[in-house]
Structure 1
């Protein structure tokens, strides 16, 4: 038998393809023992993966950490954000809604950050016949159902293109009470996450194809939000001990924390709501945006039950700058995690979102 030598990228893609294929099966189970007591209805999956024409704002938000080899055998690392935001900014529901896309690649090999904002004024919701979601905004596309998601995205200058499949290997995490959280000045929000997505696909990097694997995270959040002024700091933390944390520090117009929501996702996919008094963040250092002049923390000490974590951005300049409405620009960054939980050293990866003080819902048209 003739043996064919595979390049590092081809070996990795074949090996991880077999692993991901075994794990990338639809997950119908949602672990959450709590019953809904909030005014909003409990989240029901997969039905609630689709668009919600009664919501004033909604987003399907993906971030992740990718690595792999290109066709020449060179190693690459990336962070990415792929977000599609739906809003009723023009009051056209249910016939149409405004759709906005936000796309960013943190190239950790080049130490560069590239981002773009794509807006479609109004378009009809696409609801697949079998359920799930199917959203397209300009050069961004996302579709999925039952924890299997497919994303594509590219920049107009063809510098980077993303084509990946992300599959959840444990049950989806419902935050708060059956997927409903208190949301500070904006009332309540439906909110679930897929916290340990396995990624497989390609990044086309300046014309060179890179075969990647990695981990991702999806947030799907929606609600008929109150008009309110505030902002938030948000952390997704994925540890190598197979636990994850979602930490949400919601602030008022003066920057004071008024709501804290936290979820620990255990290794088996079950969730534990964290007491607001048991979690905290302390900024360490700062970075000033050359585009907006905004001053962002450059590192954080995060306390969770049983321990302390240090979250460090892998690149300081990861601000998504929105030229038309610079006050809505925000920082969204790939980061690393080190620390100690219950006496054990832990490491992992994180994405951190820092938003400005703004009025929501925000029309992106």
Structure 2
């Protein structure tokens, strides 16, 4: 693939495979190899030559997010292909966004419609049929990250989960958002959201295995994910406090704090951390260039500009104005084709010498 116009666009933010510039007679072979590089070796069948297809991937710690737009196809992973593959210790959590699908694994067969999730294990034979043009979003993660044994994992495979399920209602938008935005998140933010997805998949396994109780760790984990989503949706509200969060979820403040002990962080610290991450992102964006630093802070729920400046510097080592200036210089350097300094390190150096 490296010697033709189909060379993937690889970089820190991920890889793109596309058939756009590939000669028609080579697209089928190219598409099979692109799928194999992304998910593991597959035997792919199409009714005609591949017309168009795009795969976008972004790394996320030990995991990978993937979006695939493609033509009708059948992909089969056989025991022979698994035996010759070094990518058989991964699990795929997949959201079908467009088209229909049929998934076969572990002596089960299920039909999937748009908006439903399904799981399959790359270590065992699987057959995925997509009879019409489709789009999928996937999280590919090592089995060790999921923390499920083979017998437990078999309870999850080839069984669609839609938004009608309480867990699915949380998992579907989280996975979709994660895949769409993985390349734009600061590393820790992306990994935290990915962990939410993993937590929910683990909770789903607990439900399927009949181990779920209201007071179980999995039940607490599900509630914690729901609370995180609520916090993210209300960051702009200055009155977002542990008390208001607990009240919205009909739990005590004491229990709320107990839930966040699972993450080794306080509720207030979590809220502040998420606000700072959004402010840092906005201060780096050209679209927010006309806003003052104080306006950006107020947009994400900080009521005091001086307090925001203090906590921003404590978190990132530089004042917010210096961060913005460095991000502006970095954009200019990139436009001119010059090496760009890291905004954080260059600003930190100037702050230290001031």
TM-score (norm 2): 0.25
Larger Rg belongs to? 2
| Structure that is richer in strand per residue | 1
Report 1 or 2 for greater relative contact order, CA contacts < 8 Å, sequence distance ≥ 6. 1
